[in-house]
Structure 1
Amino acid sequence: MKTNNRLSFALIMIVVVLLLLGCSNDTEKETLIIADQFGLAYAPIEIMKNQGFLREALDGAGLSTVTIEWKRLGNTTAIREAMLSEDLDIGFVGIPPFLIGVDNGMDWRIISGISQTPSALIASSKAVDSLEAIDDSTRIIVPQPGSIQHILLSMYAKRMYGDSKKYDHQLVAMSHPDGYTAMRTGASNTLHFTTPPFMQQEMKLENATVLLDGETCFGGPFTFIVGICPERIYDNPKIYTAFKNALEKSIEFIGTYPEDALEVLSESYDYSEADLKAYMDHPQMIYETDVRGLDAFVSFMVEEEILSDSILNSDLYWGSDNE
């Protein structure tokens, strides 16, 4: 009888400990670290920050002690490394590098889409005035190999030339601001696959030529940027839900109060409201939570052996509604 009592007591204590651990999961996090990248595709994050939507959502969830830290990183490689070291909790990336991360064992999944975005491959000199003028000396600036710009270019090369790797040996990895600086030098052998506002700024450069756009590469509209987080954040339901609600509110704010959004973003990005309005009025600049084109990216990248077949059975979204 005493043995049974001891066993029962031990089992009760285990249950109590597990319950305490489960209850503490929402409160153990002291700082929520969020990173976006460069460009207007990430405008909802600036709205969230400026309007205090995330702070409001966390406070409403009883998480007023959780502080928020905002970062801006140059590419998905930096986001992946920061997330692996737990120096980052939520990030925003293009679909292809997100998929490559999943295929390589990252436990991140999609929280939500945030934007469709125009993109263009731009030449800085009359020396390259068409795709046919590209030769082996031409350098093509993209954020990183495996970036959405790289995969879009590969899609076009596969469809037009039967070789998805046609331009791979010409890629140069640079952030969008650094790419814009390189384009301003007017180097005759430099191209940049970029997005607003850098796209429009480069199009104003003397001798600039648009050689190709993203929707032509893809074959139609697609989501450019998604929000992602690892399992440790999804398993923190109050924080996860607070962030998702704040993101949805930020996207809705841009559509409902466009003039207020322009004022906020003009200050954040240091552009005039007139210029910013011209950038954001582009018909391909759409802020929404839907994720479009994911299956097409997966199919192409598996077919070209950029991803393994195992990605086809991967859970790519957090939340049972999307799985």
Structure 2
Amino acid sequence: MRKKVIALAMIAAMVVSLTACGGKNNDKQGKDSTESLKVAYQSGIAYAPILVMKDQKLIEKNYDGNVDIDWQLLSGGAAISEGLTSNTVDVGAIGTGVAITGAKAGAPYKIFAGMSSQPYRISTNKEEIKTLKDITKEDQIAITGINSQPHIVLAMAAKAYLGDAHALDANLVAQPNADGYTSLVSGAVQCHMIMSPYCFMEQNKEGIDQIEVDESVWPVGDTTIVGVATEKLKEERPKLYEAVCKAMDEAIEFINDNPEKTADILKDYYDASQEEIVSWLTDDASVFSTKLQGVMKLSDFMVEEDFLDKGPESISEIAFDNVEGN
């Protein structure tokens, strides 16, 4: 009898232990439990899907449970990449080039969705600068960071017009988007390599001109900003990962179908009218899509111009299996 009681006690203990441990692939689903999620992004129209997700509570809508989301506005892709690596960020929005570099370097994250392709411009406050060839060694060019997406895109233009992708590297000054805009307008720097909406805001300022770059250098539709998530999130909390993916789908659909409503959401983030923001969102070069375009081509350029030692052989090396595109 005593052995039977001991055996029953051992079985009960095993059941309790297994229940407590659960499985690392099971999200917490109890009504009283709350998942935490940290989402990081930068400023710019390219990140509109994140702001729509936040405003419309799309992650919460698509997750069958409670989730507490910490929305973090960070200064650049490098800071977000570091957060993903150190487990202080679960989901981020970063430049495609930064995502490729991080994933190939063994960072614990991959692309979970494309986000947007946005127009890039090189603005200048110096009347003498008409082309890239007019930039002197004394002229400073503000970008978000060395090896950032703007740096790589500028390198594409430098290769096309100057014959050397790194011809302007010595001119670069790293500044967050908004600071670069302020520096250009105030005259602290002579050029600013920037995407929407700052390029549109700059072109409307007196004394600011933009250097012409052919569309063949920066093809419309090529993905410039992607959504990335940690492998830990996908593996250990797959239902929450799926909610994030669905939220991104719905956010992009919302933007494409409702530019006026999207502009209303974004108006608190920019000193611009709703009409101006609608024009940014609907510009021919402003494309919001979860499908990747031109990523492998970008990777090839990065390898060729020493931004990357070795590129991925396929999209699956840098993106999760739910991602479409090339």
Matched, 1:315 2:317: yes
Residue 265 (structure 1) shift: 2.0
Alignment partners' CA distance in 1, 2:161 and 2:77: 28
Alignment partners' CA distance in 2, 1:316 and 1:175: 26
Matched, 1:52 2:52: no
| Structure 1 residues 44 and 213: CA distance shift in structure 2, 3 A | farther
Q: Which residue of 1 aligns with 2:205?
A: 205
- Whether the 8 Å CA contact 1:142–1:171 is kept in 2: the answer is yes
Q: Encode CA deviations 1:193-225: one digit per residue, 9 max, x unaligned.
A: 112221111112222111144844335531111
Matched, 1:36 2:37: no
Alignment partners' CA distance in 2, 1:172 and 1:268: 25
Match of 1:207, SS? Answer: coil
Q: Which residue of 2 aligns with 1:3?
A: none
Alignment partners' CA distance in 2, 1:214 and 1:57: 41
- The aligned runs of 1:255-294 (5 Å cut-off) are 255-294=256-295
Alignment partners' CA distance in 1, 2:156 and 2:287: 22
Alignment partners' CA distance in 2, 1:98 and 1:149: 13
Q: Which residue of 1 aligns with 2:98?
A: 97
Alignment partners' CA distance in 1, 2:154 and 2:95: 14
Match of 2:228, SS? Answer: strand
Alignment partners' CA distance in 1, 2:216 and 2:140: 21
Alignment coverage as a number of residue pairs: 310
User: Structure 1 regions of 5+ residues with no counterpart?
Assistant: 1-5
Letter of the 2:101 partner, please give it.
Answer: I
Residue 108 (structure 1) shift: 1.1
RMSD: 2.7
- Whether the 8 Å CA contact 2:299–2:311 is kept in 1: the answer is no
Residue 53 (structure 1) shift: 1.3
Matched, 1:248 2:282: no
Alignment partners' CA distance in 2, 1:305 and 1:176: 25
Q: Which residue of 2 aligns with 1:192?
A: 192
- Whether the 8 Å CA contact 1:153–1:217 is kept in 2: the answer is no
Letter of the 1:218 partner, please give it.
Answer: W
Q: Which residue of 1 aligns with 2:73?
A: 72
TM-score, normalised to structure 2, is 0.86
Identity score, percent: 28
Q: Which residue of 1 aligns with 2:131?
A: 130
Alignment partners' CA distance in 1, 2:118 and 2:100: 19
Letter of the 1:20 partner, please give it.
Answer: G
Matched, 1:139 2:140: yes
- Whether the 8 Å CA contact 2:93–2:227 is kept in 1: the answer is yes
Alignment partners' CA distance in 1, 2:258 and 2:124: 36
**The 10-residue stretch of structure 1 (143-152 or 260-269) with the greater mean CA deviation from structure 2:** 260-269
- Whether the 8 Å CA contact 2:62–2:247 is kept in 1: the answer is yes
| Structure 1 residues 221 and 24: CA distance shift in structure 2, 3 A | closer
| Structure 1 residues 23 and 222: CA distance shift in structure 2, 3 A | closer
Letter of the 1:197 partner, please give it.
Answer: P
User: Structure 2 regions of 5+ residues with no counterpart?
Assistant: 1-6
Alignment partners' CA distance in 2, 1:295 and 1:310: 8
Letter of the 2:321 partner, please give it.
Answer: G
- Whether the 8 Å CA contact 1:180–1:202 is kept in 2: the answer is yes
**The 10-residue stretch of structure 1 (189-198 or 87-96) with the greater mean CA deviation from structure 2:** 189-198
Residue 91 (structure 1) shift: 0.3
| Structure 1 residues 316 and 18: CA distance shift in structure 2, 3 A | farther
Letter of the 1:280 partner, please give it.
Answer: L
Matched, 1:84 2:85: yes
